[in-house]
Structure 1
Amino acid sequence: MLKAIRKRWQHWVNQRIPRSDQRAFGQRNIFILPTGAGVVFGFLLLIMLITGINYQNSLIYLLTFLLGAVAVAAMHQTHRNLSGLELTLIQAGEGFAGDLIPFRLRAVSPRHDTLALSLACEDVILTQQHIPAGQQADLHLSVPSYQRGYLQPQRILVETRFPFGLFRAWSWLRPVTSGIVYPNPLVAPDVASTVQDGEEQSKSRSLDGNDHADIRPWREGDMSQRVQWKRYARTGEMVIADWEGEQGSPHWLDYEAFAGTDRELRLGYLTHQVLERSRNNSRFGLNLPGQVIEPDTGAAHTNRCLKALAIFGLEQPREGGPLLHGTRAGEGAGRAAHAGGGGLA
């Protein structure tokens, strides 16, 4: 019963407050109710009123109606404090799964000061934000992430209890723009790319005492694990072991190189490789099914590769659609999807 009531309530709220990156709060979308302290205050006023009636005491009447007038004024002021506020999502942040993803919002209060404003998303609360009249303030709210993909908060709570904490006025911002959650980096096994870049291969020579590997000179982009350090210490020549069957280019990070591995593990391996190549300022490209990012260097190239890994196989979330990744609401659905498609090559 409670679940059905909650579902109907959420459906009504979603219709009344559709998704938008900008929201102006007014009579139609502000809700107000007494707080716990407000309920206790009203109960005490009722007791005082009954006491005044019982004893016909004018001073008790005076104090009761005076405090009642203060409560009514506080209710109007609490609603007014939020009324007229304009809140806009300026930038949805990026980060790795499990991190707090920063969302930057801009608040403008054109008519009057907005005092003691609070923003909240799940367990993260941003309190005591003051917006002077006619000015704007940038607010940074961190949103929890749980899995890679798009991070679209279901609701960002906007509330105030100013001036006395007797009433709570609140509403929501339901943003359209999504943050990006990268896969968690996992240390990748030493595998070779299946992609050929057309570069002239160096003449190979048999590795001493090993019929299954060839060696070639070190090239920019080669992983340090493949360097023959003993030979380097002995001769000063830096060479790489090319094992039998490894014909791919070292400039490519390849999804297909991790054959037989779960999709999410592959993406974690590739994320680690992207970060490692970026730290070394090495030139690299990314090969994903249906998408190829040509070899390049720099922060912009790294961000492009990380974003491609984050949203691989996912669709941009839409109004009313399921959020399979990135949010708590979609965590269970995401696990089910992984269980059904974890072996997808």
Structure 2
Amino acid sequence: MTGLSDTMKNLFKNRWSRWINRRIPRSDLQTFSQKNIFILPTGAGVVFGLLLFIMLLTGINYQNSLIYLTTFLLGAVFVGAMHQTHRNLAGLELTLVQPGEGFAGDDIPFHFRLRAGRDDAIAILLSCEESCHAPVHVHSGQAQDVTLPVHSAHRGYLRPDRIRIETRFPFGLLKAWSWVRPVSAGVVFPRPVPAPEAFSTVDDGEESADARSVDGNDHADIRPWREGDLSQRVQWKRFARTGQMVVADWEGEQGSPHWLDFNAYPGADHELRLSYLAFLVNERGKSGARFGLNLPGQVIEPDSGPAHVARCLRVLATWGEERPRDATTEPHGTRKRRSAESPQTTKEGQV
């Protein structure tokens, strides 16, 4: 019986979702009207209605005019509240201004703009799953910006299936609500994980080759720190004693310190490698060092600055991912299996 009950619930839920999706197509701009506003009594409204019914029966039983007057007066209040609750959303326009960016596991800010119609929009509440924004009041003909945090589960594209907009003003006896189904998706970066020491397989050319010692010698050479060196290689104890920042440079190293390389961590799964690279990108960004990013099928030439850091993080976030499509049922975008050789095939692991 339990299995049959769960099947019926899932069937009803799927049919309800399909009906809502047909009624409210995906769009970054939604104007609310009678076609897409839903209204029902709240729990308090149901209790209020039952009390009115009991009062009506009492008035009929005792033929008491005062009970009749009170019952019809409160009933008129209920009907007036229903019209006012509906008017709070009628004519309201909700626009997704900018989808947010952030790291996996964090709340990603989505920026919306509310623009009221002929009537004031009072006590408007935006929510998505377990996240919500404090109620806002938008005056007639004016606009107000609202930021809604949306929780992210993993890296990639983040597109909420539905953003709920709701009001219970006045009295909280009824609730009017609707949804907006965004088209634009936010971007979730890999969660940074401190990276072990590894050396890039990418060479800078003759200049780096001339500066490299003969292969086969594995003793360390202490040299002054220079831009692009990994922070893990800095001799911090010596720095604490002398104030001089030096680096242990092992002879026989290969590759360039100016490159962050996906292939430098052959023992780690793909998602962990991306988390390592995200950590290193942040580290280089803080120090202002010049660096490039090497991924299978995609290379970003060495550069520096906040714009370069943001570009590298977006590439790490969307590597191997496809933008969400209307046919997908995943609430937080898509995840495609892929291999390291091709960005369109499998990837392993999750963060």
Q: What TM-score does the superposition give when structure 1 sets the normalisation length?
A: 0.89
User: What percent identity do the matched residue pairs reach?
Assistant: 57
Deviation at 1:323, TM superposition (A): 3.4
Aligned pairs (5 A) from 1:300-339: 300-323=307-330, 327=332
* Structure 1 residue 6: Cα displacement: 1.0
Structure-2 residue corresponding to 1:183: 190
Contact 1:261 1:343 (8 Å CA) reproduced: no
How far apart, CA to CA, are the structure 1 residues paired with 2:245 and 2:37?
Answer: 72
Letter matched to residue 171 of structure 1: S
User: SS of the counterpart of 2:254?
Assistant: coil
Answer yes or no: is 1:291 the counterpart of 2:272.
Answer: no
Cα distance in 2, alignment partners of residues 231 and 57 from structure 1: 95
1:8 aligns with 2:37: no
Tell me which residue corresponds to 2:176.
169
Q: Which residue of 2 aligns with 1:19?
A: 26
In structure 1, which of residues 66, 81, 85 is the aligned counterpart of residue 92 of structure 2? 85
Q: Deviations over 1:17-37 (max 9, x none)?
A: 011100000000000000000
Matched residue, 2:113: 106
Return the letter of the residue paired with 1:131: V
2-structure distance, mates of 1:230, 1:63: 83
Instruction: Tell me whether 1:200 sits opposite 2:204 in the alignment.
Output: no
Residue 212 in structure 1 maps to residue 226 in structure 2: no
Aligned to 1:37: 44
- Does the 8 Å CA contact 2:322/2:335 hold for their aligned counterparts? no
Are 1:260 and 1:343, in contact at CA under 8 Å, matched by a contact in 2?
no
Question: Given that residues 20 and 173 in structure 1 are in contact (C-alpha distance below 8 angstroms), is that contact kept between their aligned partners in structure 2?
Answer: yes
Listed as ranges, the matches of 1:215-230 within 5 Å are: 215=221, 217=223, 218-227=225-234
1:219 deviates by 3.6
- Cα displacement (A) at 1:60: 1.0
Aligned counterpart for 1:267 among listed residues 249, 262, 274: 274
**Residue equivalent to 2:264:** 257
Partner of 2:249: 241
Q: CA deviation at 1:66?
A: 1.2
Q: How far is 1:226 from its partner?
A: 2.6
State the SS of the aligned residue for 1:138: strand
SS in 1 for 2:134: strand
Query: Whole-Å Cα distance in 2 between the matches of residues 229 and 171 of structure 1?
Result: 57
Cα distance, 1:65 vs structure 2: 1.1
Q: Is the 8 A contact 2:126 2:135 kept in 1?
A: no
Alignment of 1:41-190 (within 5 A): 41-190=48-197
Judged with a 3 Å threshold, the aligned counterparts in structure 2 of structure 1 residues 294 and 20 are, in CA distance, closer, same or farther, namely: same
User: Which residue identity lines up with residue 20 of structure 2 in the other structure?
Assistant: V
Structure 2 stretches lacking a partner, 5+ long? 1-7, 340-345
Map Cα deviations across residues 202-255 of structure 1 (whole Å, 9 max, x no partner): 445579xx9434648554201133346789989x794542353x3211100000
Cα separation, partners in 2 of 1:95 and 1:199, compared to 1, 3 Å: farther
Indicate the residue corresponding to 1:342 in structure 2: 348
Are 1:253 and 1:287, in contact at CA under 8 Å, matched by a contact in 2?
yes
Deviations 1:77-100 (A, max 9, x none): 111111100000001111111111
Matched-pair contact (CA < 8 Å) for 2:337–2:348: no
Distance 1:228 1:62, change over 3 A: closer
Contact 1:185 1:269 (8 Å CA) reproduced = yes
Q: 1:28-51: CA deviations, max 9, x gaps?
A: 000000000000000000001101
The more displaced of 140-149 and 197-206 is 197-206
How many Å apart are 1:282 and its aligned residue?
Answer: 0.3
Amino acid at match of 1:261: A
Equivalent residue number for residue 5 of structure 2: none
Distance in 2, matches of 1:162 and 1:181, equals 35
Report if the CA contact (8 A) 1:101-1:144 is conserved.
yes
- Cα deviation for residue 320 of structure 1 reads 2.0
Find the residue that maps to 1:63 and give its secondary structure: helix
Contact 2:236-2:245 at 8 Å conserved across structures: no
Amino acid at match of 1:18: P
In 1, Cα distance between the equivalents of 2:349 and 2:54? 67
The residue type paired with residue 151 of structure 2 is P
Q: CA RMSD in A?
A: 2.7
For structure 1, the residue ranges without an aligned partner over 5 or more in a row are none
